[in-house]
Amino acid sequence: MREYKAFINNEFIDNGEWLEIINPTTLKPAGKVTALKSEDINQAYQAARTAQTTWSALPLLKRIEYVNNFKKELLKNKEELATIMSEEVAKGYKEALGEVERTAEIIDYTIEEVKRLDPLAMTGEGMGATNKIGIFSRVPKGVVCAISPFNYPVNLAIAKIAPALLTGNTVVFKPATAGSLCGAFFAKLALAAAFPKGIFNVVTGRGREIGDLITANPEIDMISFTGSVGVGNQLRKNASTTDLVLELGGKDPALVLDNLQLEKYATEIIAGAFGYSGQRCTAIKRVLVSDAIADQLVPILKAKVEALTVGQPQDNANITPVIDEKSADFIQGLIDDAKKQGAKIICGDKRVKNLMWPTLVDGVSVKMRLAWEEPFGPVLPIIRVNSPAEMIKIANESNFGLQASVFCQDLSTAIVVAKQIQTGTVNINGRSQRGPDCFPFLGIKDSGEGVQGIREALLSMTRYQGIVINY
Ligand code: NAP
Ligand code: G3P
């Protein structure tokens, strides 16, 4: 069985306590990681603080060399990492491999972007100061706490770790429990990349036990968190004095405004709703459509949902087991609530433990939980609404505000509608998605705070340092 230890100051930590990671497909242990305690967490931050001055004083190209070596190790080990990911979070092997490759692309782009994080130079003449030149450089904030969710255990971790290190910060990284085998595996890559001591530390253990210790440590200069609204709001309270970037949950609506390309719309909607079994923050989690168009669209959606394969990650099934039975129970609860209130199951509504068949539910009303709560699973509600204005109203009444999709061939109409939707991003004639990773990625309202994306990650982990020359 895979046994991975926490990693502090370039040493593997074995305190004799272990956290078992359950394989969602077999429901048996996939491995175990060190379950750290408070004194270990403090050690990690001390190591990061001690290393930060020297690390940030290194020339940028030297830091780039280290991170690029890490990327090479990532690619060298991509099959192993994809296998671990498949076992750990039930992601299809091919999809897991794609996640590792996408992560290497993120590192490459981040390396290019950090080279262009040039200082801002200004004169004061516009304000009457005729003898000053200001040079405002971006400098590291210091020690970054990076916390990632289970659903992209490589991508959403490195998308924090790489920009942090490249800009001269040091990192204390907490992977999700389901994702910790991947997260702890990074330590081997860091050693192989000859990372200097203390710049990258992996603290493993259950979030509810050590989470507050990790996020309340006085050495933290910035927290980059991706995860649920519940934990995000806890961070907002606990770490109120620290710089925070929070990427949280979503309830992305798809507004279907015409029936001119229903086949294409349906393809986007199904890919958006059921990718990685719906366990994506940017998944399409509700369809808002008029009665007339719904009568044409639902049969097309049904055919596509029923064509999805259901099974094991190693067979690259479209739909694989959700992360655990507690999650499956929650998802089933939303479906049952909708059924009880009169919604119509078009297909699915079948499960074996945490393997849930993709479910399409029509006639979902705003009185049902499924209209508002984030299932984070393979279920798609159809909400029939007979005017674009009503669709926008319902879309905006959600506490979430991550992304949305507007399907409409008249671009002017699509833009007018998109501009009224209260989310970080609106996709016209495409499914909601974080990629391409160079785009700014943000949620508003309960969906987050601050902005991710490559350039924005670099900016969020640095601050200005101004030097004004008087002559
Ligand atoms: P989660 O339960 O909130 O966990 C996220 C991370 O926070 C994990 O590493 C978790 O560790 C840790 N954590 C738990 N309690 C903590 C605490 N008190 N203090 C500090 N850290 C703590 O979320 P998840 O189940 O992994 O991911 C699913 C959720 O994340 C969904 O709501 C999804 O929408 C959201 N998400 C958002 C984005 C985005 O970019 N907006 C991307 C992916 C996922 P443990 O696993 O050990 O508890
Ligand atoms: O939920 C993870 C979020 O980052 C989604 O990424 O590329 O699948 O939209 P993507």
Domains of the chain and any CATH numbers: 2-248+447-470 (3.40.605.10), 252-439 (3.40.309.10)
Q: Cβ(304)–Cβ(270) under 8 Å?
A: yes
Ligand lying nearest the CA atom of residue 148: 1
Per-residue pLDDT, 275: 98
Q: Does this model's pTM top 0.95?
A: yes
At 378, the amino acid letter reads: P
Q: Are strands 351-352 and 284-289 parallel, antiparallel or unpaired?
A: unpaired
Active-site residue identified among 247, 268, 374, 449? 247
Q: Are strands 222-226 and 143-147 parallel, antiparallel or unpaired?
A: parallel
Degrees, nearest 5: CA angle 223-76-88 = 55
Tell which residue, 465, 457, 377, 425, has the closest CA to residue 171.
457
Atom of ligand 2 minimally distant from the CA of 441: 4
Atom of ligand 1 minimally distant from the CA of 179: 46
Question: Left (φ > 0), alpha (ψ -120 to 50) or beta: where does 445 sit?
Answer: left
Instruction: Count the helices and strands in the chain (H runs, E runs).
Output: 14, 25
Q: For residue 215, report the distance from its CA to the centre of ligand 1, in Å.
A: 13
The DSSP bridge partners found for residue 58 are none
Degrees, nearest 5: CA angle 266-271-272 = 95
Mutate to test the pocket of ligand 2, among 147, 433, 437 (most ligand atoms within 8 A of CB): 433
Per-residue pLDDT, 38: 84
At 455, the amino acid letter reads: R
| C-alpha to C-alpha distance for 347 and 89, rounded to whole angstroms | 25
Torsion angle of the four alpha carbons 356, 359, 361, 366, in this order, in degrees rounded to the nearest 10: 50
- Residue nearest to ligand 1 atom 13, measured at CA: 207
CB of 217 within 6 A of ligand 1: the answer is: no
Q: For residue 125, report the distance from its CA to the centre of ligand 2, in Å.
A: 45
Q: For residue 203, report the distance from its CA to the centre of ligand 1, in Å.
A: 15
CB of 248 within 6 A of ligand 1: the answer is: yes
Per-block mean pLDDT, blocks of 10 residues, the chain (471 long)? 97 96 98 94 97 98 98 98 98 98 98 98 95 98 98 98 98 98 98 98 96 93 97 87 92 98 98 98 98 98 98 97 98 98 98 98 98 98 97 98 98 98 98 96 97 98 98 96
Per-residue pLDDT, 238: 82
Atom of ligand 1 minimally distant from the CA of 443: 41
Per-residue pLDDT, 242: 77
Tell which residue, 249, 229, 255, has the closest CA to residue 383.
255
Give me 215's structure tokens.
């996020």
Q: How far is CA 6 from the centre of its chain?
A: 22
Q: Name 422's Cβ contacts closer than 8 Å, sequence gap at least 6.
A: 395, 396, 401, 444, 445
Tell which residue, 437, 453, 464, 458, has the closest CA to residue 164.
458
Mutate to test the pocket of ligand 1, among 89, 160, 202, 226 (most ligand atoms within 8 A of CB): 226
CB of 31 within 6 A of ligand 1: the answer is: no
- Residue nearest to ligand 2 atom 4, measured at CA: 434
- 3-class state of residue 344 by DSSP: strand
DSSP label at residue 446: G
Q: Name 7's Cβ contacts closer than 8 Å, sequence gap at least 6.
A: 13, 184, 186, 187, 190, 200, 201, 202
Degrees, nearest 5: CA angle 168-459-49 = 30
Mark out the alpha helices in 316-376 (DSSP H runs).
Answer: 325-340
CB of 228 within 6 A of ligand 1: the answer is: yes
Mutate to test the pocket of ligand 1, among 152, 182, 231 (most ligand atoms within 8 A of CB): 231
DSSP label at residue 332: H
Q: For residue 150, report the distance from its CA to the centre of ligand 1, in Å.
A: 7
Using CA atoms, how far residue 211 sits from 37, 225, 235, 399, in Å, is 11, 11, 9, 25
Q: For tokens 């499924």, what's the residue?
A: 370
At 7, the amino acid letter reads: F
CB of 443 within 6 A of ligand 1: the answer is: yes
Does residue 247 have an active-site annotation? yes
Give me 354's structure tokens.
């945490």
Q: For residue 282, report the distance from its CA to the centre of ligand 2, in Å.
A: 6
Atom of ligand 2 minimally distant from the CA of 435: 7
- Residue nearest to ligand 2 atom 6, measured at CA: 434
Q: For tokens 């942090």, what's the residue?
A: 164
Tell which residue, 117, 444, 81, has the closest CA to residue 252.
444
End-to-end CA distance of the chain: 67
Question: For the chain, how many residues are written?
Answer: 471
E strands, 108-162, where?
Answer: 120-123, 132-140, 143-147
Tell which residue, 252, 229, 225, 260, has the closest CA to residue 239.
225
Q: Cβ(49)–Cβ(141) under 8 Å?
A: no
Phi then psi for residue 441, to 5 deg, are: -130, 115
Mutate to test the pocket of ligand 2, among 95, 228, 245, 282 (most ligand atoms within 8 A of CB): 282
Atom of ligand 2 minimally distant from the CA of 152: 2
| C-alpha to C-alpha distance for 16 and 74, rounded to whole angstroms | 28
Q: For residue 180, report the distance from its CA to the centre of ligand 1, in Å.
A: 12
Q: For residue 385, report the distance from its CA to the centre of ligand 2, in Å.
A: 28
Q: For residue 228, report the distance from its CA to the centre of ligand 1, in Å.
A: 5
Using CA atoms, how far residue 313 sits from 91, 219, 319, in Å, is 6, 40, 8
Give me 262's structure tokens.
């229903």
